[in-house]
Structure 1
Amino acid sequence: MQSNPDVLQISLQQQPAPEQFGPKALLSPSAAGYQIHLKTGDEQRSVQKAARLLDNLGLAAVQLNGNWPLELQWAFYQGFVNAKRQTGVQFSGDSSTLKTLEQRVQCYRFAKSLVNQTPEQLSPQLLCEQAAAFITEIAGSAKVSYRLITGEQLAAEGWHGVYQVGRGSVRPPAMLELDFNPSGAANAPVAAALVGKGITFDSGGYSIKATEGMLSMKCDMGGAATVTAALALAILQGLTKRVKLILCCAENLISGHAYKLGDIITYKNGTTVEIVNTDAEGRLVLADGLQLASDSGAGLIIDAATLTGAAVTAVGGEYNALFALDKPLAQRALVYAEQQQELTWQLPLEKWHQQQCPSPYADTANSRPVKGGGAGGASNAAGFLSRFVANDGKGWLHFDLAAAFNGSSNAYWAAGATGQGIRTIAATLLNELQA
């Protein structure tokens, strides 16, 4: 690719910055723009950090010039873009490298833009419609069909988790069931199902959040955005198997019609759930999605959700947390995450975690009635979800997306959505289904 003299050129430099900039300087000016001084053993993070510095200078566009490895270009992109601007990086390399990067940008831009939309802009139904439109655009309409279930129809069909969480809002809850079927054969087996939490705004319901905890809750549909973008990326990278996409979408608001503490939900599989915390709503909507995924006969089921603050406490904001009863599958998923250079950490999950939220009135409560769900809250939430997966959890992965969103900028990320988890889930689909 030829360089554009009208755009600042960014090059890589193995040597330290000139003495006048200090021994730890990441950036120094060059004749055509800036050069990044790589830190040996920490190249990707040093590039991403340098990109944040360049974004903070107010640069609208830059061109990566010279010999840039693919993953360092991607690290630069992730550091340079922000919530107001998801463009501005001109990549370098051969056609294969450029194609890979352009595919990632297309999917990450969709996911980040969706997550960063205001809750007033993005209703549950609109979230489903935008996701369906994006997959249809990527795959072609001949390969995609979908069904949208909204409002009272959810209750009529027995999807009581999504319905109960969302019935307090004037904008009705919605569930998307999308079928990517590249062969077009009606009898083609469903190889995998992706399930995403799509809470377009989470006030906490009657277990209301404080202002500082509620401010960023437009991000609570990050799971839905992540699995949609992951499916799109897998399609662009050659996915040939049939996959279902299920998004469980609602606004968790307070009104005279909202669900309440002490209510009991009876799910399609007969499980009864006492509501002891209306702010533990993500697991309630995912329970419906996981049952629908299991009904499809999919051998691989992956759900993703910004589910628990406990996961953030456990792994911080740089890692996503992974849970699985299927331990060999979890180990393979961790390998895929490492290959995709997305930080992921497995947290404990056993069958007995299903019993960690007892109720005297129902089969289980949806949490423990203490702040944050108490000790082991992320594992207990995963244990709750495991009640709604077929085959004792064989073939099921649960991603608690602790790294999906930043409430404020830091040295490596702008404020807003990160897209972390998209590449891992796409790689899991491709490796598990097409090995």
Structure 2
Amino acid sequence: MPEDSRVTAIEPVLIKNYPAWLEAQPEPLVRWLQDSGFKPTHRAHCLLPPYADEVSRVLVTLEDADDIWGLGDLPYRLPEGDYLLKDMQGATLARLSTGWGLGAYRFQRYKAAKRVPACLRIEQTAVYEAVAREIAACSLVRDLINTPAEDMGPTQLAAAARELADEFKAGCEVIVGDQLLSRGYPAIHAVGRASVHPPRLIDLRWGSTEHPTLVLVGKGVCFDSGGLDLKNASGMRHMKKDMGGAAHVLGLARMVMAHRLPVNLRVLVPAVENAVSGDAFRPGDIIRTRKGLTVEIENTDAEGRLVLCDALAEAAQDKPALIVDFATLTGAARVALGTELPGFFTRSEALAKGVSGAGERTQDPLWRLPLFDDYRYQLESPVADLLNCSTSPFGGAINAALFLEAFVPPEIEWLHVDLMAWNLRARPGRPRGGEAMGLRALFAYLNMRFGDGDA
């Protein structure tokens, strides 16, 4: 119990232990709970008045004390003020505090919140620092995705990367416009050339070359009209989030650098707007790529894989220990898994097992999908090395992953994450809008593989 009477204690009680807990309470508090109609259901809470020499406290009933979202809706359901978890420490404190912090997030760039969230104090320094790193990274991802394309185009996305690089004393180079052609990134240039906002490749580097090389690649399509194969109005409505992959790799890079993970980190973000103009690339065009493969354009709305293929080819030049790409790549993955479960692809059984396990441990799940070789025929072109997408409506997420795999040498471990990056509904700790999906899981995996395993 905190000594400061201005701090309200939060007392989590497991539902299975609630009868014993209730029996130990003084009669006035028992009557208070009865009169208020409190039912000990999962994530239920009740404000308890002070009794005898105690101060006010909050009762929270949970099915599982390790449920990361157990306190996720309390920042805006409890009165403003300071709170402290009673008799809680270590991993459980970190989990519940993380859920609270993610639930306290609101996007306020254009409209102020009606109130400030309740504040959870964390008195254990190590726990506070770990939680703060996760909240900062997830908030960065959410902020970048929630910002509309007018204020988060290729120029602003590059500025956000530079700001992150400056904070952690990393290097950051940006290749812009026609420099992409002279430097050998023709596919990125082709997709972005129609926009008044020139395409660019963001290249952030941090760490020591003495450590294993980790390359993160993020799809940075800051707005996707579909190009000449124009999307309809509903399909275009949330396309500010099509740079969600870029947002994720910047958020993951923040976690890696803040934790000082012993890796040689490189982050590659092809940042473009897929716009419509007289200079837009067309169905039937054949585009050369950085790897030298030619790609026939079946549909200009399958542009994300085109910008990623040049970035993946560049990532492979470093012969890294691991390449991870994030992309809001296919609607087919959403059809297969729904909007709240990212899919991932890899040939490595060890990598797949490690990522899945990290997702379970962090309650940030991802689901493996197959790189099914029998579908490669759907990417065959009679006039180029590849089609950019299949003419079939089936297996779209797999076909996209197979396309990307053509640009990664088989000897390099590679993970491709296909995600929504957006919450269609509000849940505890997860408000509507831009969302970091699989981010905490991937960092937990990277920390187990390259670091000390203590996130």
What range describes the TM-score normalised by the shorter chain of this pair?
A: 0.7 to 0.9
Alignment of 1:286 with 2:308, yes or no, is yes
Query: 3-state SS of the aligned residue for 1:21?
Result: coil
Inter-partner Cα distance in structure 1 for 2:285 and 2:5: 65
- For 1:206, give the aligned amino acid: L
Pick the aligned partner of 2:397 from 368, 378, 382. 378
Matches within 5 A, 1:175-324: 175-181=201-207, 183=208, 188=210, 191-324=213-346
How far the C-alpha of 1:39 sits from its partner, in A, is 2.2
Check whether the contact 2:312–2:408 (CA below 8 A) recurs between aligned residues. yes
Check whether the contact 1:10–1:62 (CA below 8 A) recurs between aligned residues. no
Per the alignment, residue 141 of structure 2 pairs with 111
Check whether the contact 2:283–2:297 (CA below 8 A) recurs between aligned residues. yes
Measured at CA, do residues 24 and 198 of structure 1 come closer, stay the same or move farther in structure 2, by a change above 3 Å? same
| Cα distance per residue 1:365-403 (max 9 Å; x no partner) | 111235xxx21111111000000002x16311111123x
How far the C-alpha of 1:6 sits from its partner, in A, is 5.7
Query: 3-state SS of the aligned residue for 1:297?
Result: coil
Measured at CA, do residues 293 and 88 of structure 1 come closer, stay the same or move farther in structure 2, by a change above 3 Å? farther
Task: Supply the RMSD in Å over aligned alpha carbons.
Answer: 2.7
| Cα distance per residue 1:96-132 (max 9 Å; x no partner) | 1111111112222222111111110011122022113
Check whether the contact 1:4–1:63 (CA below 8 A) recurs between aligned residues. no
Query: 3-state SS of the aligned residue for 2:351?
Result: helix
Measured at CA, do residues 90 and 270 of structure 1 come closer, stay the same or move farther in structure 2, by a change above 3 Å? same
| Cα distance per residue 1:179-215 (max 9 Å; x no partner) | 113x4x6xx4761111011111111112222222211
Inter-partner Cα distance in structure 2 for 1:331 and 1:23: 37
- Bigger drift between 247-256 and 59-68 goes to 59-68
Check whether the contact 2:10–2:84 (CA below 8 A) recurs between aligned residues. yes
- For 1:155, give the aligned amino acid: L
Check whether the contact 2:201–2:270 (CA below 8 A) recurs between aligned residues. yes
- For 1:102, give the aligned amino acid: A
| Structure 1 unpaired stretches of 5+ | none
How far the C-alpha of 1:326 sits from its partner, in A, is 2.1
Query: 3-state SS of the aligned residue for 1:257?
Result: coil
Inter-partner Cα distance in structure 2 for 1:433 and 1:24: 40
Pick the aligned partner of 1:401 from 419, 430, 433. 419
Measured at CA, do residues 427 and 412 of structure 1 come closer, stay the same or move farther in structure 2, by a change above 3 Å? closer
Measured at CA, do residues 94 and 285 of structure 1 come closer, stay the same or move farther in structure 2, by a change above 3 Å? same
- Bigger drift between 79-88 and 153-162 goes to 79-88
TM-score w.r.t. structure 1 length?
A: 0.87
How far the C-alpha of 1:3 sits from its partner, in A, is 7.7
Check whether the contact 2:173–2:202 (CA below 8 A) recurs between aligned residues. yes
Alignment of 1:70 with 2:100, yes or no, is no
Alignment of 1:174 with 2:204, yes or no, is no
TM-score w.r.t. structure 2 length?
A: 0.84
Q: How many residues align structurally?
A: 418
Check whether the contact 2:105–2:139 (CA below 8 A) recurs between aligned residues. no
Alignment of 1:81 with 2:105, yes or no, is yes
Check whether the contact 1:325–1:394 (CA below 8 A) recurs between aligned residues. no
Measured at CA, do residues 434 and 46 of structure 1 come closer, stay the same or move farther in structure 2, by a change above 3 Å? closer
Per the alignment, residue 335 of structure 1 pairs with 357
Measured at CA, do residues 289 and 67 of structure 1 come closer, stay the same or move farther in structure 2, by a change above 3 Å? farther
Q: Which has the larger radius of gyration?
A: 2
| Structure 2 unpaired stretches of 5+ | 23-32, 50-55
How far the C-alpha of 1:364 sits from its partner, in A, is 1.6
- Bigger drift between 77-86 and 286-295 goes to 77-86
Measured at CA, do residues 309 and 33 of structure 1 come closer, stay the same or move farther in structure 2, by a change above 3 Å? farther
Query: 3-state SS of the aligned residue for 1:250?
Result: strand
Query: 3-state SS of the aligned residue for 1:381?
Result: helix
Inter-partner Cα distance in structure 1 for 2:301 and 2:199: 16
Alignment of 1:94 with 2:124, yes or no, is yes
Per the alignment, residue 178 of structure 2 pairs with 152
Measured at CA, do residues 313 and 79 of structure 1 come closer, stay the same or move farther in structure 2, by a change above 3 Å? farther
Inter-partner Cα distance in structure 1 for 2:4 and 2:299: 56
- For 2:14, give the aligned amino acid: Q
Inter-partner Cα distance in structure 1 for 2:413 and 2:102: 31
Measured at CA, do residues 301 and 4 of structure 1 come closer, stay the same or move farther in structure 2, by a change above 3 Å? farther
- Bigger drift between 192-201 and 4-13 goes to 4-13
- Bigger drift between 262-271 and 284-293 goes to 262-271
